[in-house]
Amino acid sequence: MILRPYQSDAVQAVYEHLRARDDNPCVVIPTGGGKTPVIATICRDAVTHWGGRVVILAHVKELLEQAAEKLRHIAPDVPVGIYSAGLKRKDLGYAVTIAGIQSIWKKACDLGKVDLILVDEAHMVPAEDDGMYRQFIADARVVNPHVRIIGLTATPYRMKSGSICGAENILNHVCYEVGVRELIVQCFLSPLKTKAGLQKISTDDLHVRAGEFIASEVEDLMDKDGLVEGACAEIIEHTKDRSATLIFSSGIRHGQHIVEVLKAKHGVECGFVCGDTPDGVRAAILGRFRAGGEGGLKYLCNVNVLTTGFDAPHIDCVALVRPTMSPGLYYQMVGRGFRLHPGKADCLVLDFGGNVLRHGPVDAIRINEPGDGTGEAPAKECPQCHALIAAGYQTCPQCGHVFPEPNKQKHEAEASTEGILSGQTTREEHHVSETTYHVHFKRGDPSAPLTMRVEYRVGFNRYFREWVCFDHTGYARTKAEVWWRARSVEPVPGSTEEAVEMAKAGALAPILHITVEKKAGDQFERVVAHRLGDKPPRLDSDEGLPDRTPEPAGMTHGIPDDEIPF
């Protein structure tokens, strides 16, 4: 097997960390991005190159099976044992042991000396000093104090304690990370489309316990006839031309209600699995869902059991018929649709629980400090087509709906938010009520070239700014010359002070509208386009021009230097 470039980079980052540091690394790769080949490669190298012994820990048997399959493919000569009650095997004495944590957490000493412990879905390791993972690792260190732990996860944080990496944690440092958006752009993950459900819920009355909504209250809220019937109708409408839809319900009663409505109202069969589903029945249902087509299942509803380890690449719709306060759970649910599959153009996420608005981009989920429920919504819903889009959009990119001009307070909240995928670029056009020109001195650096600061007033008291570099050389000066010629019949000024003087005298065309661009994650908004009035005629003479009295050094009309992008 040939690793993808980012998988090879992840393996090399782990080795570099182990050589250069004494603590334990973590690798972050999105769901569907292929953590298992990375695990298998590290195991092969550890055994064949360095004579080491390795344990792979996971919490669901599907992950154990995936690891065993990849190891057989990548390193067929490496002896591999499996220790899992669910898989009915308890192998000991192998170079690599793939183990379910529930089965082996008290058996670390029985394995003998282990050099590496690889933890799949490493966000499952608790921050506090208890739990099965910590017990196993503590016992393994009794046998070999030098054992190293390597974590792999798509979500390196926990709701209650924040980042899983820290000086006092089992894992200490993220040595490699690749994002969802990056892998989508590189065509390693499926593109996403997101829509909010027409049926609206309010979670204001729900109580939170241990960082999550109380399950019984969530189910009571969601399991109402009107909401269930409306959600099912929307699911059917949006999935007519889709292959496989995975539905997340808020509880067993709620999930069974969804299955019944889909059958009674829409004549479609929907499978259902939960924690109480017998293994044989569950395997049969999942097999039919994976098979699809005639005799298979197009719809599958579950209650929190298909969030990790479940691999069905043809899933092209994920319906979240539940709210969650957990950013990790939100990510894992949406992540079921990340994988590529022949004929799959994208994955549609239908959100009936307000989760996208609550948590933000799947590749840049906002993690509040424990106990902090504050923060602006990082997305907004189009009232016309119900697409969930970046909060900064003035026009919906999917249907063209124009949002009303926000007031200053609302705009400031939206301008601080991210897109559905980080890196998303939004543009807004604004009518300009006033344009002023100023000489700008860079604070603390008297040798820096002067620049002309152009301020555009939009609305009652809102400003955007751009800087024109007449005193610079090279590209910056050339750009300033182009900027001037587009606005004036006067010769291009030789300096910033001359440019400001001429601008104040009326040498420039009026600016009617500006287009402002905001890229999610960037600190600054940029003025990227202008709609200009007519160029004024030539100035008759220098008579009447204002005195050249530049602003004193350090004066920037109250604009801090860290708001100036150079």
How far, in Å, CA of 341 to CA of 315, rounded? 8
DSSP code for 538: P
Amino acid of residue 407: N
Residue-wise pLDDT tens digits, 99-156 = 999 999 999 999 999 999 999 988 888 766 668 999 999 999 999 999 999 999 988 8
Name the packing angle between helices 215-222 and 252-266 (round to 10°). Answer: 20
SS3 85: coil
Indicate the number of domains in the chain: 3
Is position 411 within any domain? no
Token representation of residue 394:
């003035």
How far, in Å, CA of 245 to CA of 232, rounded? 12
Is position 416 within any domain? no
Token representation of residue 303:
């209650």
Residues 152 and 196 grouped into a single domain:
no
Is position 220 within any domain? yes
- Residue 304, pLDDT score: 86
Structure confidence at residue 390 as a pLDDT band (50, 70, 90): low
How far, in Å, CA of 135 to CA of 36, rounded? 24
Question: Of the candidates 372, 393, 419, which is a domain's last residue?
Answer: 372
Is position 138 within any domain? yes
- Residue 365, pLDDT score: 67
Residue 140's CB is within 10 A of a number of other CB atoms, namely 21
Is position 83 within any domain? yes
- Residue 168, pLDDT score: 84
Structure confidence at residue 281 as a pLDDT band (50, 70, 90): very high
How far, in Å, CA of 235 to CA of 319, rounded? 7
Residues 218 and 171 grouped into a single domain:
no
Residues 207 and 79 grouped into a single domain:
no
Residues 152 and 230 grouped into a single domain:
no
Question: Of the candidates 333, 356, 372, which is a domain's last residue?
Answer: 372
Structure confidence at residue 374 as a pLDDT band (50, 70, 90): very low
CB 262 within 8 A of CB 268: yes
Of 460 and 270, more confident: 270
Residues 203 and 169 grouped into a single domain:
no
Structure confidence at residue 409 as a pLDDT band (50, 70, 90): very low
What is the average pLDDT value for the chain, to the nearest integer? 83
Residues 22 and 112 grouped into a single domain:
yes
- CA atoms within 13 Å, Cβ hemisphere of 47: 21
CATH code for the domain of 156: 3.40.50.300
Q: Identify which of 25-29, 325-329, 444-448 has the greatest average pLDDT.
A: 25-29
Structure confidence at residue 496 as a pLDDT band (50, 70, 90): very high
Is position 398 within any domain? no
- Structural domain of residue 483, as residue ranges? 430-563
Is position 396 within any domain? no
Q: Check whether 369 has a pLDDT greater than 60.
A: no
Question: Of the candidates 153, 178, 203, which is a domain's last residue?
Answer: 178
Is position 420 within any domain? no
Residues 102 and 226 grouped into a single domain:
no
Residues 436 and 501 grouped into a single domain:
yes
Q: How far is CA 30 from the centre of its chain?
A: 9
Q: Is 0.75 surpassed by the pTM of this model?
A: no
Residues 198 and 173 grouped into a single domain:
no
Rounded to an integer, the average pLDDT of 213-220 is: 94
Instruction: Please give the full DSSP string across 206-242, using - where no structure is assigned.
Output: --EETTEE-HHHHHHHH--HHHHHHHHHHHHHHTTT-
Residue-wise pLDDT tens digits, 41-95 = 999 999 999 999 999 998 888 888 888 888 888 888 899 999 998 888 999 989 9
Residues 319 and 451 grouped into a single domain:
no
Residues 172 and 225 grouped into a single domain:
no
- Residue 363, pLDDT score: 62
Residues 72 and 219 grouped into a single domain:
no
Of 392 and 226, more confident: 226
Residues in a beta bridge with 488: none
